[in-house]
Amino acid sequence: MKLLGFLWALPATIICWLFYILPLMAFRELKYEGKLDTFVWEFKNPINPTSWYDKLWARWAGWSGPCVLILHEDVYKDVNKLKITRIHELRHCKDQFKWGIFFYPAYFLASAWLAISNLWKKKEDKKHIYYSNPFEVAARKEAGQLVDIPREYWPDGPEDYNPWM
């Protein structure tokens, strides 16, 4: 079954490796840490990225693509945070094996729908387009993290619903 998931996600895996993993390896920004699962490899990323390309991703503790899980160096300093972040990102890997190349459009459309639906909601009913994304909610739930993030904990402030803008 894992082989079928790998093959289904292969187009997304190729894109991930071509536009993220290989460029960061060329910039010497990633360190291979080992294999986590049958088709998932872990890489360590530095706290202070030196390349402009890595700075695009520096905000997140972890990031996953099909067949790859990347954790920032500071996560490794706290064993509990490392465990939780791995579980969270492995859930995203599982989703990518399930959805294949359609994972990225589905993830984007879920956030886009939240952004659009916020247009007609009252201020207090608006949802954060990252924290309320169903893929993020499922990953936090699986990792035992807080599922409903209160507004006061939103990193961009309680009125900022879009972390990408």
User: Where are the chain's structural domains?
Assistant: 2-101, 105-153
Give me the residues paired with residue 69 across strands. 42, 64
The pLDDT-based confidence of 75 (bands split at 50, 70, 90) is confident
Gap between the Cα atoms of 68 and 17, Å rounded: 9
The pLDDT-based confidence of 60 (bands split at 50, 70, 90) is low
pTM for this prediction: 0.84
Assess contact for 151 and 96: CB atoms under 8 A: no
pLDDT of residue 62: 73
